[in-house]
Chain A
Amino acid sequence: MVESKQQWKAWLYLAPAIILLLVFTVWPIINTVAMAFMEDYSGLASIGGEATFRFGFGNFTRVVQNAEFQQALTNTMILCLITVPVSTLLALLIAVALNAIKPLQKALQTIFFLPYVTNSIAIGMVFAAMFNVIGSVGTRRPLISSYGIVNDLIRMFGGNWVNWINSGSEYWANMFVMIVYIVWNALPFKILILLGGLAGINKQYYEAAKVDSTPRWRVLTRITVPLLSPMLAYVIITGFIAGFKEYTSIVGVFGESMGPVHEAHRLNTMVGLIYDSLASNNQGRASAAALILFMIILVVTLINLRVSKKRVHY
């Protein structure tokens, strides 16, 4: 009796969210699935009326057989596997450090939040400018107008300048820039969430640790991290989901060509492939690519959830 009442009540609480999700999320997803199985479906061509679209797996096979697919998948994986742990760890250290200081605390908190309030396209342009080498790199008569601020710093400390993003640059140099940018971009959100989590931790734990004169790193690993684990699980799982959807950051640095001058598309990602198909009005292929991406993210998230169930202390 009590249980059925709870059931009923739970659905009441869920009702607004579920109704809105059905209309604005589930229905588009159903449409996406339908388009993915209509071969070479194009929204505009279907309006035109003459085209008919065969049912089949043709969109999927074309996406997978595309020369760029493997590269895009590899890029996406690498970016995810590096940026998520790095940004989470940095955000954790920064959040804990911010929590442990008194003077300048407010000013520093504000600074670390700054990247969140600006337009990501504008900041992408700024990043490109920082790493950009201007000149005729790699010709018989190389003339360099500007090495970019990052190389200027390297040279100041006696190092050799690096060709980060320009013609002739190495894959890993490109990747390095992307990783720095993505981590930079991801930090404020993670710091914000983790600071919120830290604020909720009872000060008594730390006072107890102080009395016992427990070393700092031990406090961090034995008290802070376990108590923060729900928030950490959250930032890691959502970080992976966002990481698999990486696209605009690469456009910000490399432009629509998604790669350095001598090798366009080299840094293309899974979402980049989706956009390429959308741009040529190939919604069928875009949907197929999206579903493939969805399956990948689903598997990764299930693994994440499984792990977090064991590790997270509520």
Chain B
Amino acid sequence: MSQNTMQVMSAQNMRKTSTRQKITRVLSQTGVYAFLGLMAAVVLFPFYWMIISSLKSLAEYRLSPPTFWPTQVLISNYSEAFTTASLGMLFKNTMIVGIVSTLLSLVITIFTAFAFARLEFKGKELLFALLLATMMIPGELFTITNFATVTNLGWRNTYHVLIIPFLVSVFYIYLLRQNFMQIPNELYLAAKVDGTSDLKYLWKVMVPLSLPTLISITILKMMGAWNSYIWPRLVANDEAHRLITNGLRNAFTDTTGDVNYPVQMAAVALVSLPLFLVFVFLRKYIMSGVSRSGIKG
């Protein structure tokens, strides 16, 4: 066969494969959307239910069979949720605790993860295993001892007590360590040769490279402050330090100790909103990743 025909054939082949590729591409793309659409519907349904419940009257909420759309839309549940609890104070407290504890926690997590990922020291493996082990004991058992500790420290009804005991999260240390481990060692050694200090290397190289993970941690930690309930209720249930979830939960128990669920659902929706917005805002940072990652092997 001449060289010419060979070229023609391969060109034909190329075209064929490219149309076939196109078809499979379209098909698989449809498949991907169908899959995502279905999963999204499953994920969304409970929210739909929560929203319609938050718009019902208590009588209708208790009705059986349940109604799929409130016969009478009660927007007033939201205003009631908003006014019953003194939301301004609750938001302020939650913001203070959320922001301070997130920042401090990030610093501690970065240092600790760095030590475990990059530095060599005796007993590293053992210490890390022990750290992981602490995650495995159900935290409810810590409550009583910790309660005694903070009482003895005189921290009841302060911001300290809401921030300090939970600054260290092995979950996040472990997550960040996994990320740090992916950054090639050569980079670190090169930096050493250049005389860059560890701290500078950590700040200039490792932190930027792990930005998506750090943002994930930020979101998770903020979420924690937002949703924390049992501990804050126990140690700081005074007006001046009460956090949002507590404030909202307390506000809607009626005289019989029953909960006005529709209003509470409205409150849950209201409380979720800021977090939702934070996510929408930070989403692109999580997704964009590190564009200047020419470094990675």
User: What is the interface of chain A, defined by CB distance below 8 A to chain B?
Assistant: 3, 6-7, 9-11, 13-14, 16-17, 20-21, 23-29, 31-32, 43, 90, 93-94, 97-98, 100-101, 104, 106, 108-119, 122-123, 125-127, 129-130, 134, 145-146, 149, 184, 187, 189, 192-193, 195-202, 213, 216, 230-231, 233-234, 237-238, 241, 244-245, 271, 274-275, 278, 283, 286-287, 290-291, 293-294, 297-298, 301, 305, 314
Measured CB to CB, the closest approach of chain B to A234, in angstroms, equals 5
Measured CB to CB, the closest approach of chain B to A108, in angstroms, equals 6
* Contact indicator A20/B167 (Cβ below 8 Å): yes
With beta carbons under 8 angstroms apart, the residue of A7, A145, A297 that contacts B121 is: A7
Measured CB to CB, the closest approach of chain A to B218, in angstroms, equals 11
- Cα separation A106 to B286 with both chains bound (whole Å): 12
* Contact indicator B17/A213 (Cβ below 8 Å): yes
Residues of B within 8 A of A31 (CB): 144-145
Measured CB to CB, the closest approach of chain B to A305, in angstroms, equals 8
Given A25-B142, A294-B137, A200 contacting B43 (CB threshold 8 A): no
User: What is the interface of chain B, defined by CB distance below 8 A to chain A?
Assistant: 17, 21, 28-29, 32-33, 35-36, 39-40, 42-47, 49-50, 53, 64-66, 68, 107-108, 111-112, 114-115, 119-122, 124, 127, 129, 131-138, 140-142, 144-146, 149, 164-168, 171, 173-175, 178-179, 181-182, 198, 209-210, 212-213, 215-216, 219-220, 223, 227, 245, 261, 264-265, 268, 271-272, 275-276, 279-280, 283-284, 286-290, 293, 296
Measured CB to CB, the closest approach of chain B to A186, in angstroms, equals 12
Question: What residue of chain B has the Cβ atom nearest to residue A98's Cβ?
Answer: B36
* Contact indicator A199/B286 (Cβ below 8 Å): yes
A–B pairs, 30, beta carbons within 8 Å: A6-B120, A7-B122, A13-B119, A16-B107, A17-B111, A21-B168, A28-B142, A28-B145, A90-B39, A94-B35, A108-B36, A111-B44, A114-B47, A115-B43, A118-B268, A118-B272, A122-B50, A123-B46, A123-B50, A193-B216, A196-B213, A199-B288, A200-B293, A202-B293, A213-B17, A237-B132, A238-B135, A245-B138, A271-B140, A293-B138
Given A14-B115, A134-B64, A234-B178, A109 contacting B140 (CB threshold 8 A): no
* Contact indicator A230/B182 (Cβ below 8 Å): yes
* Contact indicator B181/A94 (Cβ below 8 Å): no
Residues of A within 8 A of B129 (CB): 305
Q: Mostly helix, strand, loop or mixed at chain B's interface?
A: helix
Question: What residue of chain A has the Cβ atom nearest to residue B167's Cβ?
Answer: A20
With beta carbons under 8 angstroms apart, the residue of B32, B68, B138 that contacts A97 is: B32
Residues of A within 8 A of B134 (CB): 21, 25-26, 29
* Contact indicator B138/A274 (Cβ below 8 Å): yes
Residues of B within 8 A of A16 (CB): 107-108, 111-112, 167-168
- Cα separation A109 to B53 with both chains bound (whole Å): 25
Residues of B within 8 A of A297 (CB): 136
* Contact indicator A301/B136 (Cβ below 8 Å): yes
Question: What residue of chain A has the Cβ atom nearest to residue B164's Cβ?
Answer: A20
With beta carbons under 8 angstroms apart, the residue of A29, A106, A291, A301 that contacts B283 is: A106
* Contact indicator A200/B121 (Cβ below 8 Å): no
Residues of B within 8 A of A192 (CB): 216, 219-220, 286
Residues of B within 8 A of A21 (CB): 131, 134, 168
Residues of A within 8 A of B286 (CB): 192, 195-196, 199
Question: What residue of chain B has the Cβ atom nearest to residue A3's Cβ?
Answer: B120
Residues of B within 8 A of A198 (CB): 289
Question: What residue of chain A has the Cβ atom nearest to residue B209's Cβ?
Answer: A200
Residues of A within 8 A of B140 (CB): 271, 274-275, 278
Which 6 residue pairs of A and B lie closest in terms of their CB atoms, listed nearest first?
A: A199-B289, A146-B65, A10-B121, A28-B142, A28-B145, A196-B212
- Cα separation A94 to B29 with both chains bound (whole Å): 13
Question: What residue of chain B has the Cβ atom nearest to residue A109's Cβ?
Answer: B283
Given A24-B149, A199-B289, A200-B289, A130 contacting B49 (CB threshold 8 A): yes
* Contact indicator A231/B178 (Cβ below 8 Å): yes
* Contact indicator A238/B144 (Cβ below 8 Å): no
Residues of B within 8 A of A187 (CB): 43
* Contact indicator B39/A20 (Cβ below 8 Å): no
* Contact indicator A127/B46 (Cβ below 8 Å): yes
Residues of B within 8 A of A100 (CB): 32
Residues of B within 8 A of A189 (CB): 220
Measured CB to CB, the closest approach of chain A to B221, in angstroms, equals 12
Given contacts A27-B145, A213-B21, A234-B178, could you give 16 more A-B pairs where the C-beta distance is less than 8 Å? A6-B119, A7-B121, A25-B142, A31-B144, A32-B141, A43-B144, A112-B40, A117-B276, A119-B227, A119-B271, A126-B53, A130-B49, A196-B212, A199-B286, A200-B182, A298-B136
With beta carbons under 8 angstroms apart, the residue of A93, A146, A195 that contacts B66 is: A146
Question: What residue of chain B has the Cβ atom nearest to residue A314's Cβ?
Answer: B181
Given A17-B168, A118-B272, A10 contacting B120 (CB threshold 8 A): yes
